[in-house]
Amino acid sequence: MGIETMKIGKRGAVVIPSGLRRKYGFEEGSLVVAEAREEGVLLRPAVTLPLERYTPERKAEFLLNNAVTAQDYAWALEEVKKLGIDPKTIPYEKPKIR
């Protein structure tokens, strides 16, 4: 990999050469992480993942669908009720309790 020289512009802006942008997937608007290292600053692509905010109904669905024993199921029912939700309104599969 060759060495590239860049100039720092106003407000600290640095233009990354096009070959490096293509190689590392930097595009306009990309998020990057700037990490302080002993030898300088490391720029690398930031990884972002969408975050799902669970509604009380979705939480109730998780609770009810993950019950595997009679005790789990009874606990899940109580937790759903604590959320202020009628378990009958939530789509789920009742566990097959032996």
Does residue 34 sit in the same domain as residue 57? no
Q: Is residue 87 part of a domain?
A: yes
Q: Is residue 2 part of a domain?
A: no
Is the confidence at residue 26, as pLDDT, over 70?
yes
Per-chain mean pLDDT for the chain: 89
Q: How confident is the model at residue 5 (pLDDT cuts 50, 70, 90)?
A: confident
Q: How confident is the model at residue 98 (pLDDT cuts 50, 70, 90)?
A: low
CB 46 within 8 A of CB 31: yes
- 35-71 pLDDT, tens per residue? 999 999 998 889 888 888 999 999 999 999 998 888 9
Rounded to whole angstroms, the Cα distance separating 35 from 28 reads 20
User: What is the residue range of 62's domain?
Assistant: 50-98
Q: Is residue 79 part of a domain?
A: yes
Does residue 61 sit in the same domain as residue 89? yes
Overall number of domains in the chain: 2
Does residue 35 sit in the same domain as residue 57? no
Q: Is residue 37 part of a domain?
A: yes
Is the confidence at residue 94, as pLDDT, over 90?
no
Q: Is residue 1 part of a domain?
A: no
Taking the complete model, does pTM exceed 0.75, yes or no? no
CB 87 within 8 A of CB 94: no
